[in-house]
Amino acid sequence: MENSSFETLPQDLQMEILSRLPLKILGKCICVSKKWASLIRGEDFKRFYLSRSMKRPRVMFMARRYTSEPPEPEMWWFHSVYQEQRCDPGSSHDIEALFHSVYQEENTLLSSGQQQLRIPLEPKGSYISRPVQGLICLQLRTKVAICNPCTKKIRTLPEIQVPEPAHIYTFFGYDEAKNVFKVLCITRFGTRELRRFDENTITKYEVCTMGEKSWRPITCKDGHSPETEGLFKGGVLYYAADLYSDSTRVIMSFNVGSEDFSVIELPKGVDFSSIGWNLVNYKGNIALSSCDDYENGVLQLWVRKMGVWLIKIIEIHSWKETVEGLKYYFRGTIGTGELVFTEYFYFENESPYIVLYYDKKAKNLRRFEIEELTEGHCVETFLDHVDSTWLICDEV
């Protein structure tokens, strides 16, 4: 029998074998040989690995907490920016974001097996986007970076050039046709009081593609000020905003490929400025959710289909018996069609973080405890996070 090795196998079989490895191990495989490195960094393998990961997506949690621990070696760039721009340089405690994920469609919400990532943050002027294709966007005032939380690699973007004071909003998306990630930056100068804008209010709209060396100005005929984080779906970014023309609250859509803005009016009777409304992904459609009736186990949704808002009222069985008096937010749906709820944004007890899954067909409400999240964190939850080989070996 002739001797055989991995490199003598057909390339599709090589990709099949490598795709079963965790990203941490893949990063080490790059150092084995030039041929392995070329294969792992290639576009074919990137798409193949991502397609496998999409079959087993994750729920990713981001917990903000005070810490006196030094940052991870991979995050020294972000830490240096943090020290440069921090609001309170005399503070003895730093704020960091701690990431953890679990497989979202497992019956027991099994741990993903990935190491937790710690990123230093500022209490003001810092933002971390929802994950897109396995990457997240990190903004610390005028500094922006794109990060793969699984590989702990980052790619810095050009600094945003703005005078002080200014309000900076960033949104992260992916242009599938050109296979590139883009960041939309909206900078507002001037004054604003009680959602009223005056003649001194100036807004700049810019886009930066990952890998480019500058921000490109773009135009928007409907001047607006963003009011929520972005939701990326189907090549389009969505976020709530106030129009300058009449201070009306609307949903703005931004096509990441064409870089065009559109205005989506809210359903009649919906006041998105009130506490309790949230922009979510409901079975592949954008939706507005209200938690006003959560205490009674009723979820009210406005779902946008074919350009029309449709209202849905969902009664959640066994709600009161399961929630035990805690407040929850609706986060959206997963591939199984189940509705996902997590504890309110803040929690201050030392109990595990709780996630609820509701199956409408079976009328079954399941409760999971995430043991890794304790101590009194401020937690955000992101659905449909996946592993990807983007930035698997990129350096700062």
Is the previous residue joined to 165 through a cis bond, with omega within 30 degrees of 0? yes
| Cβ atoms of 358 and 289 closer than 8 Å | no
Which one, of 302, 373, 364, lies nearest residue 342 by Cα? 373
Neighbouring-strand partners of residue 97: 64, 119
pLDDT at 263: 97
Burial of 240-261, coded b for 16+ CB within 10 Å and e otherwise, reads bbbbbeeeebbbbbbebeebeb
Helices 43-54 & 11-18, crossing angle to 10 degrees? 50
In the sheet that holds 180-189, the strands lie side by side as: 167-175, 180-189, 202-209, 216-217
- Write out the CATH class of domain 56-288+381-385: mainly beta
Token readout for 115 is 């190491």
End-to-end CA distance of the chain: 47
Over 90: is that where the pLDDT of 4 sits?
no
- Distance set, CA 33 to CA 40, 41, 42, 49, 388 (Å): 11, 12, 14, 19, 21
Would you give the DSSP letter of residue 151? Answer: T
pLDDT of residue 195: 47
Q: Which residue has tokens 């209490």?
A: 123
Q: What is the largest CA-CA distance in the chain?
A: 82
Instruction: State the pLDDT confidence band at 271, using cuts at 50, 70 and 90.
Output: confident
In whole angstroms, give the CA distance from residue 276 to residue 270. 11
Query: Which has the closest alpha carbon to 183: 139, 120, 134, 118?
Result: 139
On whether the CB atoms of residues 356 and 294 are closer than 8 A, the answer is no
Average pLDDT, the chain: 83
Check: CB of residue 55 under 8 Å from CB of residue 336. no
Examine the pLDDT at 28 and tell me if it is beyond 70: yes
The full length of the chain comes to 396
185-236 pLDDT per residue, tens: 999 886 554 445 555 567 899 999 999 999 999 999 999 999 889 999 999 9
Other C-beta atoms closer than 10 Å to the C-beta of 329 total: 18
- Residue 17's contacts (CB-CB under 8 Å, 6 or more residues apart) are 6, 9
- What value does the mean pLDDT take over residues 141-164? 87
Share of the chain above pLDDT 90, in %: 40
Residues with Cβ < 8 Å from 269, sequence gap 6 or more?
A: none
SS (H, E, C) 222-234: CCEEECCCCEEEC
Instruction: Find where tokens 């991870």 sit.
Output: 72
Amino acid occupying residue 69: E
Q: What residue spans define the domains of the chain?
A: 56-288+381-385
Whether 394 has a pLDDT exceeding 90, the answer reads no
Residue pLDDT, tens place only, 283-302: 999 999 876 656 678 898 99
Question: How far is it, in rounded angstroms, from Cα 237 to Cα 262?
Answer: 10
Residue 245 predicted with pLDDT over 50 = yes
Structure tokens at 144: 């922006």
Condensed to tens digits (0 to 9), the pLDDT of residues 354-372 reads: 899 999 999 999 998 887 7
| Separation between Cα atoms, residue 54 and residue 57, nearest integer Å | 5
Q: pTM here?
A: 0.87
Find out whether 63 and 105 touch, Cβ atoms under 8 Å.
Answer: no
In one-letter notation, the amino acid at residue 42 is G
Token pair 């350009």 in the structure block, residue: 307
pLDDT category at 35 given cuts 50, 70, 90 is: confident
- For residue range 100-132, list pLDDT tens digits in order: 888 888 777 776 655 467 776 665 667 889 999
Give 67's strand partners: 94
**Phi/psi at 204 (5° precision):** -115, 130
